Amino acid sequence: MLRFLIRRVLGAAVILLVISAVTFFLFYAIPADPARLACGKVCPPETLEQARRNLGIDQPLLVQFVSWLSGIFVGRDYEGLGHCPAPCLGFSFVNKAPVFETIMDRMPVTIALTLGAAVIFLIFGVATGIVAALRQGKPLDKVASVASLIGASVQIYFVGTLAMYLFVYQTQVFSQPKYVPITEDPLGWFNGLLLPWLVLALIFTANYTRITRSTMVENLNEDYVRTARAKGMSGRSVVLRFALRGTLTPVITIFGVDLGTLIGGAIITETTFGLQGIGRLAVRAVDYSDLPTLMATVVLAAGAIVLMNVVVDSLYAVIDPRVRLS
Amino acid sequence: MARNFRISYVLRDPDHMTTPTSTAITTDATSVTETQDTAGRSPGRLMWTRFRRDRVGVTSAVIVIFFFLVAIFAPVISWLYGKDPYTLYGQDIPGLLNDYGYPILPNGGISSEYWFGLEPSLGRDVFMQLVYGIRTSLGIALAATLIITALGIVIGIVAGYIGGRTDYFIGRIIDLTLSFPSTIFIIAFTPVVESLLVPPDEETPIWLRAVSLTIMLSAFGWAGLARLLRGYVLSLREREFVEAAKVTGASPARIVFKELLPNLWTPILIQSTLLLPAMVTAEAGLSFLGVGMGELVPDWGRMFLRATQVYQNDITYLIFPGVALLIFVIAFNLLGDSVRDAFDPKIKR
């Protein structure tokens, strides 16, 4: 198990390194003047000079990349701007602050948004999928399939804005979405995120219902399930202990992909509800022409996806011992 | 035993109930005594027969065709309707918008003159915006889908058929592409590309935006299809008919085009049917985030962007593009499912 884990982590690190290198190259080698893109929409000459000097634009690209990369591990000094401590993902010449600080500021918003929604859509999606599979062709199954079709086709910028109109401005059922740290005001935290969670869950549940249902239907026809039934096991334990276990694998796969993508920036959701998370930060960085921040958000988002892949792989190994050996 | 099988098969197959001499029997190798019209049916023909009987599939196909026709004949509709998507009617004609720029008539200014109302502040005709917006969205989505499909086919076949080191190399590139945070990357990289191609003080030309959007969407879209097709090719490669073709001395090109490709059209068609609506919503999403088409080009995504700014006072402006996009995506998803069912009735959803 340990060897398996080490191999996966190393593979993930290589992918992340290559993504960083490719992104760095595309952002710093292709533009005619990367310092100009790092200096902000309104670009005072002294900031431009600062950016040019500190990015080391006149040095070979590889040297620039290595100093960016080593900054993550040992930190980096910025001339005239101060020190950027250890996980230094770059320095924003627009905010006059290390990018990592800003990211740490925004991260709780995105994580709270993602995890809250994920709890809802995972539980609700798998539950409706199981019920639909057990009641194949019955009205409930049909309702579930129509609902999942609509959920899969609807867009967050439409249904989210519509929900804001109906439930926030017309009826005040939900409070205006906003982020309050959970340590400050747990109830405010919950209220502020409830609507975004529900809307995000509405869209994502569909996929889980569909996948759980189809895998479950397949699994219920498997020999081992029939054997368990024949041995006199009760219907419930057959479903929960045997059929569900086989169903978990594909569910975990998409759950990992969804979590990775959302943590890397639920851009459209954050934009729709005006939440200041990582996704918003990336969009703002584009608007303000803040290249170091942009670079950091891309690497961070890729990191989230790669990390979730490793987690998913490890979970496979826990659920299905055969994976460990291959 | 065989009898049992036959019965259960017949019971499972609803087609068989309606027309006795149809697909269910054609698949049975032993029944030689068939009527003339079923005897020589090609797989495509069979698929078409099955598809025609699927009421949901036909309905969604009609809706999809309707959207395409609207896109193609947008100028004709504009001529019949007597308006265009560019004129600022609300600003030119007094009495349509109030002092805050919102339509005076209720429901976003819907009237016999302006069927779907007026755009707040700019006062453009919403119906025309929607009709011409389909052109933009479908055009970009269609181009991206075609490029992705072509790339996916070529790369998938190369990886699966050649195998070995090439396969490993392509596999890692696919891993890499799938790990890229595509949305963030596209928003981030669009200004970089444009700073390269357009002098800073000039406006980005419309065609360049369209081309760069198409390329970006394609650059991240091909990997999934390529991986899927590689898997198909890998299993097909080991099949007897490919082996036989190799033994008889067929060239690799012949094997790819005559043996492999005909067996791949089914997954390719299904995947591209599902890809197109995904590209339409991706394009709309990017425009919503402000990296799509510019202000002058009618575009659904930008309508959503504007709608989120004005929805508190004018929800109608959100409803029309929202419902239109929803109908389009549902119809396309249902069509994709029906195409799959028609090709392979054994797969149960």
pLDDT digits (tens, 9 = 90+) for B185-196: 888 887 777 777
CA distances from B238 to A288, A305, B228, B245 (A): 55, 34, 17, 12
* pLDDT one-digit tens code per residue, B267-314: 898 888 889 999 999 999 988 888 877 777 888 888 888 888 888 888
Please report which confidence band the pLDDT of residue B338 belongs to, taking 50, 70 and 90 as the band edges: confident
Contact indicator for B305, B290 with CB cutoff of 8 Å: yes
Is B116 in a helix, a strand, or coil?
coil
Chain A (16-35) residues lying within 8 Å, Cβ to Cβ, of chain B: 16, 18-19, 22-23, 26-27, 30-32
Q: What is the pLDDT, as a whole number, of residue B7? A: 32
- Please report which helix (H) or strand (E) contains residue B298, including its range: none
Query: Given a cut of 50, is residue A286 above it in pLDDT?
Result: yes
Q: Closest chain B residue to A303 measured between Cα atoms?
A: B179
Q: What is the pLDDT, as a whole number, of residue B40? A: 65
If you count residue pairs, one on A and one on B, with CB atoms under 8 Å apart, how many are there? 129
Mutate to test the interface with B, among A271, A286, A307, A313 (most CBs of B within 10 A): A286
* pLDDT one-digit tens code per residue, A80-110: 777 888 788 888 888 888 899 899 999 999 9
- Tell me the chain B residues in contact with residue A214 when contact means C-beta distances shorter than 8 Å: 349
Query: Can you tell me the mean pLDDT for A297-316?
Result: 89
- Tell me the chain B residues in contact with residue A19 when contact means C-beta distances shorter than 8 Å: 176, 179-180
Comparing CA positions, the residue from B121, B321, B322, B104 lying closest to residue A163 is B322
Query: Given a cut of 60, is residue A78 above it in pLDDT?
Result: yes
Q: What is the pLDDT, as a whole number, of residue B4? A: 35
Query: Given a cut of 50, is residue B12 above it in pLDDT?
Result: no
CATH of the domain spanning A104-325: 1.10.3720.10
Contact indicator for B133, B292 with CB cutoff of 8 Å: no
Please report which confidence band the pLDDT of residue B119 belongs to, taking 50, 70 and 90 as the band edges: confident
Cα gap A90→A69, rounded to integer Å: 9
Comparing CA positions, the residue from B222, B214, B272, B263 lying closest to residue B239 is B263
Is A97 in a helix, a strand, or coil?
strand
Q: What is the pLDDT, as a whole number, of residue A117? A: 94
Please report which confidence band the pLDDT of residue B33 belongs to, taking 50, 70 and 90 as the band edges: very low
Q: What is the pLDDT, as a whole number, of residue B200? A: 65
* pLDDT one-digit tens code per residue, A43-71: 888 888 888 888 877 788 888 888 888 88
Mutate to test the interface with B, among A10, A43, A158 (most CBs of B within 10 A): A158
Cα gap A319→B74, rounded to integer Å: 55
Contact indicator for A242, A234 with CB cutoff of 8 Å: no
Contact indicator for B181, A261 with CB cutoff of 8 Å: yes
Q: What is the pLDDT, as a whole number, of residue A323? A: 65
Q: What is the pLDDT, as a whole number, of residue B16? A: 36
Q: Do A158 and B195 lie within an 8 Å CB cutoff?
A: no
For chain A, the structural domain boundaries read: 9-99, 104-325
B150 against B163, higher pLDDT: B150
A307 against B38, higher pLDDT: A307
Q: Does A267 touch chain B (CB under 8 A)?
A: yes
- Tell me the chain A residues in contact with residue B312 when contact means C-beta distances shorter than 8 Å: 165, 169
Q: Does A301 touch chain B (CB under 8 A)?
A: yes
Cα gap B222→B226, rounded to integer Å: 6
B237 against B36, higher pLDDT: B237
Cα gap B324→B60, rounded to integer Å: 14
Contact indicator for B277, B144 with CB cutoff of 8 Å: no
CA distances from B18 to B56, B59, B148 (A): 17, 20, 39
Q: Among A182-196, A274-288, B33-47, whose mean pLDDT is lowest? A: B33-47
* pLDDT one-digit tens code per residue, A128-180: 998 888 888 888 888 888 888 888 889 899 999 999 999 988 888 888 888 98
* pLDDT one-digit tens code per residue, A208-260: 998 898 888 888 888 888 888 888 887 777 777 777 877 888 898 889 989 98
Contact indicator for B298, B75 with CB cutoff of 8 Å: no
Q: Do A37 and B180 lie within an 8 Å CB cutoff?
A: no
Q: DSSP for A115-156?
A: HHHHHHHHHHHHHHHHHHHHTTTSHHHHHHHHHHHHHHH--H
Contact indicator for A161, B308 with CB cutoff of 8 Å: yes
Q: Do B318 and A164 lie within an 8 Å CB cutoff?
A: no
What lies within 8 Å, CB to CB, of A31 at 6+ separation is: A37, B192, B195, B196
Q: Do B312 and A165 lie within an 8 Å CB cutoff?
A: yes
Q: Under an 8 Å CB criterion, which residues of B touch A?
A: 175-176, 179-181, 183-185, 187-193, 195-196, 277, 281, 284-285, 288-291, 304-305, 307-308, 311-312, 315, 318-319, 321-322, 325-326, 329-330, 333-334, 348-349
Q: Do A157 and B304 lie within an 8 Å CB cutoff?
A: yes
Quote the Cα angle for B161-A22-A45, to 5°. Answer: 160
What lies within 8 Å, CB to CB, of A280 at 6+ separation is: A106, A267, A270, A271
Cα gap A251→A125, rounded to integer Å: 10
Query: Given a cut of 70, is residue B36 above it in pLDDT?
Result: no
Comparing CA positions, the residue from B166, B153, B171 lying closest to residue B256 is B153
Query: Can you tell me the mean pLDDT for A281-300?
Result: 88
* pLDDT one-digit tens code per residue, B233-265: 988 888 888 889 889 988 888 888 888 888 888
Q: Locate tokens 């005897």: which residue?
A: B39
Chain A (93-112) residues lying within 8 Å, Cβ to Cβ, of chain B: none
What lies within 8 Å, CB to CB, of A100 at 6+ separation is: A84, A85, A87, A88, A89, A296
Q: What is the pLDDT, as a whole number, of residue B37? A: 53
Mean pLDDT of chain A: 86
Q: DSSP for B174-208?
A: HHHHHHS-HHHHHHHHHHHHHHHHS-TTSPPPHHH
